[in-house]
Amino acid sequence: MSAPSEKGRLLLVGGSGGLVGRNVLPELLPAWKIRSVHRHPAPDEARLGVEWVPADAATVPDWTPLLEGVDVVLNVAWYRFGSERRFAPLGDGLERLIHAARSVGVRRFVQVSVPDSPASLEERLPYMVHKRRVDRALEGSGLAYSIVRPTMLFAPRDVLITVMLRTMHRYHRFPMFGDGTYHVSPLSARDLARILAREARASGSRNVTAGGPERFRYRDLTDLLFRALGRTPRYFRLSPKGAVRLARLLETVGSTLLYAYEVEWLLSDMLGLPPYEGLDTPLEPVQPFVTAEAHRLTG
Ligand SMILES: NC(=O)c1ccc[n+]([C@@H]2O[C@H](COP(=O)([O-])OP(=O)(O)OC[C@H]3O[C@@H](n4cnc5c(N)ncnc54)[C@H](OP(=O)(O)O)[C@@H]3O)[C@@H](O)[C@H]2O)c1
């Protein structure tokens, strides 16, 4: 570990309150002095000596003062759901950040992005359209960068495996979208944190996808979750169209359980990414996590 005086300075945009942020903080702290920009207090930051600048990345007019002394920017800020009115200003704010980082001579910019998705989402979904716009702005900026595109993440309080387990535990049944033969390769949020810490130290520019160590057929993963709960897998089957319709219905009643674009993405079979290569220890398999979470639920 470096002595404090040797630490580089990192601007963490999006902070440590979210799934990626709370996992990345312990990975970064040994090597970086962190300034963290986000809207809501994050419990560990003050205790760990992180400087919090309360701000909405969509409305920061000039990033220059926040970039003072900063070597590396890491952006984890994004929303899981919303309309053009929500994503366009955040995209604008992040583009202003990229331009300011270039002007003040930041050494490197690490951007957390997402894997490829079906053309219908790439072209029309505000979530995706503005994400790609920010990625392209970074690629064209002249900054050295890493754009890291992880697949679905698992970790305590995630929005994937823990939600699936809870649903199975409560209802003893689970929806199966289509035939379930598309693939997923869940990546631990802790491993994504290690990847981001590594990319922050790298040189040159690159665009990397990041899957977990094992690629599952979706319905083999859901079977595994049922078995971890000590239950026989039981599904109610939905056609792909029916699945998207159900997710839309959930959206309209304000549920955050599942969004229609997430179902379309899953069904497109574009989320079974190969494992990220380059960490010095193996990626975490999902099975021990599933066992521990299932045990927590069943007592
Ligand atoms: N979760 C996954 O499975 C997954 C998979 C692939 C890629 N990703 C990507 O990973 C990144 C982080 O995702 P996550 O799951 O950690 O999301 P998250 O849990 O929703 O956290 C996002 C964080 O961004 C901050 N944020 C949001 N809007 C902001 C704004 N306008 N200004 C400043 N900060 C803002 C929030 O902090 P405040 O509320 O304090 O502002 C929040 O802590 C995103 O780019 C996402 O697309 C996630």
- Domain with 139 in it: what CATH number? 3.40.50.720
Q: Residue 244 and residue 263: Cα distance in Å, rounded? A: 6
Cα–chain center distance at 161: 14
Among candidates 22, 25, 65, which has minimal Cα distance to 49? 25
N- to C-terminal Cα separation, the chain: 39
Question: What residues does ligand 1 touch, defined as CB less than 6 Å away?
Answer: 14-15, 17-21, 38-40, 56-58, 76-80, 90, 112, 114, 150, 152-153, 159
Q: Same structural domain for residues 174 and 266? A: yes
225-281 pLDDT tens trace: 999 999 999 999 999 999 999 999 999 999 999 999 999 999 999 999 999 999 999
Query: For ligand 1, atom 1, which residue shows the shortest CA distance?
Result: 153
Distance from Cα 41 to the centre of ligand 1, integer Å:
14
Closest ligand 1 atom to the C-alpha of 22? Answer: 16
Could you tell me which of 198, 211, 191 has the C-alpha nearest to residue 23? 191
- Per the domain annotation, does 245 fall within a domain? yes
Residue 110 sits at the vertex; the CA angle it makes with 258 and 114, to the nearest 5 degrees, is: 25
**Phi and psi for 54 in degrees, rounded to 5?**
-70, 115
CA of 132 to the centre of ligand 1 (A): 16
CA of 128 to the centre of ligand 1 (A): 14
237 & 132 share domain: no
What range does the domain containing 201 cover? 8-151+187-210
Q: Are residues 202 and 61 in the same domain?
A: yes
Asked whether residue 33 is assigned to any structural domain, the reply reads yes
Task: Sort strands 216-217 and 183-184 into parallel, antiparallel or unpaired.
Answer: antiparallel
Residues 204 and 72 in one domain: yes
Strand locations in 2-107 (E): 8-13, 32-38, 51-54, 72-75
| Digitized pLDDT (tens) for each residue of the chain, 299 residues in all | 444 458 999 999 999 999 999 999 999 999 999 999 999 999 899 999 999 999 999 999 999 999 999 999 999 999 999 999 999 999 999 999 999 999 999 999 999 999 999 999 999 999 999 999 999 999 999 999 999 999 999 999 999 999 999 999 999 999 999 999 999 999 999 999 999 999 999 999 999 999 999 999 999 999 999 999 999 999 999 999 999 999 999 999 999 999 999 999 999 999 999 999 999 999 999 999 999 999 999 98
